[in-house]
Amino acid sequence: MEEGMRVHYDEEGDVLYLNLKPGAEAVAEETGDETLVRKDPETGEIVGYTVMHFRKRAGQKKGIELEA
């Protein structure tokens, strides 16, 4: 059974995890600006994102760009 998107925030590490396909195998690529995009290694399909320093960035109202 396939699950929907999951969002998890690690308050201690100030990291936001967006899992578009929870449990999917993935490789992470740095996109710059302390954001990682997670892709399926076979298809290149985006399966998630990791955003570092999320609260700090959100508090500064700094935009977060995610690869489409």
Domain presence at residue 31: yes
Count CB neighbours of 21 within 10 A: 18
Q: Does residue 66 form part of some domain?
A: no
Q: Any idea which residue has 């995610």 for tokens?
A: 66
Q: Is residue 68 part of a domain?
A: no
Cα(35)–Cα(3) distance, integer angstroms: 24
Token representation of residue 38:
């997670």
Note the pLDDT tens digit of each residue in 29-38.
999 888 999 9
Q: Is 34 a member of any domain?
A: yes
* pTM, rounded to two decimals: 0.78
Residue 51 counted as domain residue? yes
**Domain-embedded: residue 67:** no
Is residue 25 in a domain? Answer: yes
Q: Give the residue numbers spanning the domain of 31.
A: 6-59
Give how many domains the chain has, as a whole number: 1
Would you state the pLDDT for residue 4? 87
Region 3-22: mean pLDDT is 91
The pLDDT tens digits of the residues spanning 15-27 come to: 999 999 988 899 9
